[in-house]
Each structure stands twice: as structure tokens, then as C-alpha cells.
Amino acid sequence: MRHLAFPFLILFVLLGLLSAPVAGYAETSSMAYDPENCLGCHGATINLDKFGASPHGKNGCTSCHLQSADLKKHMTGSTKLEKVNCARCHGNEAKEFSKSIHADKGLICVSCHNDIHSMAIKKGDKKAILTSCLKCHPNNKNFEASVHGKAVMKGSKDAPDCSNCHGLHSIKKIQPATTVEGRMFHVDACIKCHADEKMMERNHVNHTSVETYLESYHGKGYRLGMLQKAAGCSDCHTAHTVLPKEDPASSVHPDNLYKSCQTCHAKATPLFAKYYSHGNHSDRQNYPLLYWTFMAMVGLLVGTFAVFWVHTLLWMFRGFVENREKQQALADGHVHHVEEPHKQYLRFKKRHIFLHVTVIISFLGLSLTGLPLKFADQTWAKTLMSFYGGVEYAGLIHRGCAVLTFYYFLGALWMSIDFLILRKDIRGNFLQRMFGPDSLMPNFRDIKDVVGMVKWFLFKGPKPTFERWTYWEKFDFIAVFWGMFAIGGSGLILWFPEFFGMFLPGWMMNIATIVHSDEALLATGFIFTVHFFNTHGRPEKFPMDFVIFNGQMSKEEFIEERGDQWKRYEEQGITESFVCEKPSSVAYDFIFKTFGFLAVFTGLALVVAMIFAFMK
């Protein structure tokens, strides 16, 4: 093995020619450039064969030990002993290490690479890295028994050693789990590998775990960079003792899972733990309940939007044509004369106005805090969440607006009971009130009105005149009740999961998440497109119908839009009882018109944001 030390000879010759005194050359040449000169003194601590096989084996001793270049001084002990500076060759690694927690603790290169002359740790040697780390971190000995540790010891190139999660030289201090940075790390480290679907498939690991996690509430918190109140991977699977769920010692074994849940959900039960942590609504075979729930919601979304968007487009076109016809009629001198056209009539009472303002505030609040969570991967969503102060504060706002929603739902329910049963100024029995002209309950007349509107859209008949309520207004009202059962019911399950987990299986939370998310998408998409058009955007009302803010409409508008209601009131002789004075307060008009326009613009901005999210 003497030929392995041959590089020493070349180095010593060069150094001797450049620096050795000529007079001393004859005296020291045989001693200085013999390949075994260094080992003549250091052979007891350095094995030539091991050194030659190490990554440093091609270097000479003086590549690191610079003070030994002058052999004569070195042998007489007159040279000053210098510390080896690894950064001379390993600059990048040294720069990374200088910012690491190990450097802060006073460790140096040889703390890990302790036998520097044999250098057992080589790049890519996962076993050696694991063994080296465990010398100082014996408390993590259980990592060897984990699925990761076993795979490392078997020689798997895909298996993670300590450096895959913590880094090799730039090892950062792990922040406490109470901080966002600390919690984010426990997902960042896992996603590096588990997001690689090909790697997961060849190792027979669930390749959709990252995708399904990111679609969950916990994962959305991670996407937004705000994992304060959401679980990361290690919260369920642990950081070092990751075991198959079939292993009785595993944190996700059926017998242990609810205990893992109790880390965050103190009252979690075994029934609660039946939640599908990685449930995939696209997987019909393994998650049929989630699949069919999702398909039903998609069908509802597509069906509703298909019908009403077509209705809106037809109305938009026909409305423009109608406006041009009116302008032409005016130009030709055909003026429809209505006496006192600007005379005001009461349509809504103050309680109706107050209730609708409550609806606007709560709905916008829910939309502004809920949509960023649904579209958590979008930049605008992260910006909004940062504005609120994070997911936790957005959640508080969301729940506050949910309380307002329950309030106006109960208010609408009470007014319905009052109308159907309690009021004495309305004629008829319960059924007559239920299906009468002043009721918001759909009836056969609505079918006639729908057919009439479609004929008008297609230029096949005149525009219908309506009673007190149109079919689209009735749909909006009924949607409040449907929405409360769908959005409100699912929202309560998600708000109080531990309570409902006492008597409902955990997978009900998966279903509630799908229903709540998609029903919210349906509600926001419908209100901000269809409802906004029906109320404010149609040509005859653009840019805004102010009736919901002051409760009044002009006589001309009354007769033109709700001619049948006007006729009925005239026949009953009660028309003049609805006459009212227009509010004289300019401040009132200014405040509520500003509020109305802000609400509309906010809704339209969210529509644009949602369209952008779907197009990406």
C-alpha cells in the first residue's frame, strides 16, 4: 500500500525546491521526501490504508497541516501549531455550518467527522449519517425502529436519514411547536419526499397523502403559512417514531388514534377518530360516501348555475333590446303617461330593511373570510388572511358572521310564522295565506311567470307583469332556508367537532367539509352574479335598485313591474294606504348608497378572484 502515499513525495519535492535552504538540502532531503516520513512519527494514530481509502486520501498531509510544510522546523518543534481550517476546501459547507445550531453550540467539523483521517461519512452514506447523529442524540434512538430508520438501515436510497429533514450542515434550531415556524417545519420536512408521487409509488406509500392533506382544513392553514391552530404531519404521525398503522405501537393505529387526536381535541373519542385524515373524494372505491357527496354537490352547482346563468344572459340581451325600443318610442312621441309617476309607495318596512342589511353584512363577512380558506393556494387569499391577522382571527370573524346568519334566519322564520298564523290584518286561513299573492311560497302562478319570461326572452310574447313577489325573489328566499340546513348544519359540525364527535362518526366531518365548501361556493357565486344582476344589473335597474335601503318604489315602477299587485290593491281599495314620503335626509341616501355600492363592488371583486383561481 506504499504507492498510496506517493502524492506526499511530489508535494514535498515542490515545497523543498521553493522554500528549503540550499545548504540544508543534502541534510534533509532523504528525511523530508520519503512518503512514509509523516507516518514515521504519526503511524500510531493514522492508518495509511484507511487514510488512502478516505475522501482525503489523494491529499498530502500539508494540504491541511500547513505548518508542516517546512519539515526541518516541524521536526524540531519550532513551528507554531495551527488549527486545521476546513473552509479552505469546503467553503460552501463552512458557510452553511456557521449559521447552524451546531455552530452556536460550539461544535466544529471534527465533532461529527471525528476520525478525519479515515472519514467514514461519505456523501450519500445514509447509514453513516444516522449513526453519527445518534452519538449526540441518543434520545432519538427510536428513529431506527421507525419505517424511515429501517429503510435507511436496509440501504434504501429513497429513505430519509436525519439530514433529509434537518439538513446536513445548515441545521437550524427547531422553533417551539407553539410558533408558526415550528409548526410549519413539521410539514415542510415531510412534504419534501411525500409530494414526489413516483417515489411514493415505488415504495408502496400512499401517493395522495400530500394532496389530500393540503385539501383539508389543516392543510389549508399550512398553505396560507398560518399553521397556528391546525395539525401538521408530525402531530399525528410523530416526528421520529413513524410506524405503519397496523403496528400496535403506531400513533395512528386504530386503538391509539383517538389519543393522538386528543393532543389538540381534548374531548376526542374513538368515534371522533373515524375521521378520514387523508380521505379522497375522488376515490370511489375507498371513500364511496365522500365520492357520492361530492358528485351530488357538483351536480347541484352545475345545474343551478347552468339554469340561472342562461336565464341571466337571455334577460341581459332582451333587456338591452327593450331599452332601445323604449328610446325609439320616446323619439316617435309614444309616451306612456302615468299620473304622478314619482309618487312613492311603501314596499318594505323598517324591520325588513334592517334584516336585509344584516344579511349583507353577515354574507360579505362569511365570504371574505371563507373564500380565502377554500382557495388557500392563491396569493390574494394569503393577502386577505394576513390582513385579518391569520387563520385564527379570520375564523373568529367567520363565526361572528355565522351568528348573525342564525339571527336573520330566526328573524325570517319568525316573520313567516307571524304572516301565516298570527297577523290579523291578512285575510284567509293558513293554506290561503301560504299560497296567496302576498306569500313567498312558490305556487302555480310562478310556473306561468317563468314560461312568460322565457317567451319574452325569445321575442315570443310580452313581458309578464308580476304580483308582489317574482319567482326569482321567491327562489332567493327559499334558498335562505335550504342554505341554513346545508351551510349552517355543516358549519356547526365543523365549528364544534368534539361535541358532534360524541355521537357522529368522524367521517361526517369529511362530508360536512364537502357540503360546507361547495354550498358556500354555490351561494357566493349565485349571489354575486345572478342575484346582483336580477336586483341591480339588469338594464332597467342598472347600476342599483335602492328599494331595499329605503323601502320605497315610485308609482311608475310599481305599475310597470308589479302591475298585477297594483290592480289587486286598486280592487281592494288599499293602494293609497301604502303612500309614503320620500326621505328628505341627504345623509341617509349617501350613507346607504355608499354601503350598497361597496357591497356590490366587494362581491364582484370576489367573483373575479374566484374566476382567477379556477383558471390557474
Given this model, what pLDDT does residue 472 score? 96
CA neighbours closer than 13 Å in the CB half-sphere of residue 228: 10
Which residues are within 8 A (CB) of 532 and not within 5 positions of it... i.e. 6 or more apart? 600, 603, 604
User: Would you call the peptide bond into 543 cis, given omega within 30 degrees of 0 as the criterion?
Assistant: yes
Given this model, what pLDDT does residue 37 score? 67
Q: Which amino acid is at 301?
A: L
Q: From 463, 470, 479, select the one nearest 437 (Cα to Cα).
A: 470
Given this model, what pLDDT does residue 300 score? 95
Which three cell numbers, joined as nine digits, stand for 472?
326569482
**What is the rounded CA–CA span in Å between residue 294 and residue 305?**
16
CA neighbours closer than 13 Å in the CB half-sphere of residue 297: 23
Is residue 401 a contact partner of residue 366, using CB atoms and an 8 Å limit?
yes
Is residue 54 a contact partner of residue 34, using CB atoms and an 8 Å limit?
no
Q: What is the pTM of this model?
A: 0.85
**What is the rounded CA–CA span in Å between residue 560 and residue 137?**
83
**What is the rounded CA–CA span in Å between residue 510 and residue 469?**
38
| Three-class DSSP category at 190 | helix
Given this model, what pLDDT does residue 28 score? 37
Domains belonging to the chain, first-starting first, are: 2-84 (no CATH), 106-173 (no CATH), 350-541+584-615 (1.20.950)
Rg (CA), the chain: 39
* pLDDT profile of the chain (616 residues), mean per 10: 44 42 36 54 79 79 76 74 83 90 88 78 80 85 90 92 90 84 89 93 93 94 86 91 93 94 94 95 95 97 96 96 86 78 93 95 97 95 94 94 95 93 89 94 96 97 95 93 90 96 96 96 96 93 90 93 95 94 82 94 97 90
Q: Which amino acid is at 115?
A: D
Given this model, what pLDDT does residue 33 score? 33
Q: Concatenated DSSP letters for 294-355?
A: HHHHHHHHHHHHHHHHHHHHHHHHHHHHHHHHHHHHHHTT-----SSTT-EEE-S-HHHHHH
Is residue 541 a contact partner of residue 532, using CB atoms and an 8 Å limit?
no
Given this model, what pLDDT does residue 22 score? 36
Given this model, what pLDDT does residue 27 score? 37
Which three cell numbers, joined as nine digits, stand for 209?
397523502
Q: What is the DSSP letter of 273?
A: G
Q: Concatenated DSSP letters for 105-152?
A: TT--HHHHS-STTT----TT-HHHHHHHHHHH-GGGGGGGGSHHHHHH
| Three-class DSSP category at 554 | strand
**Residue with cell string 520519503:** 34
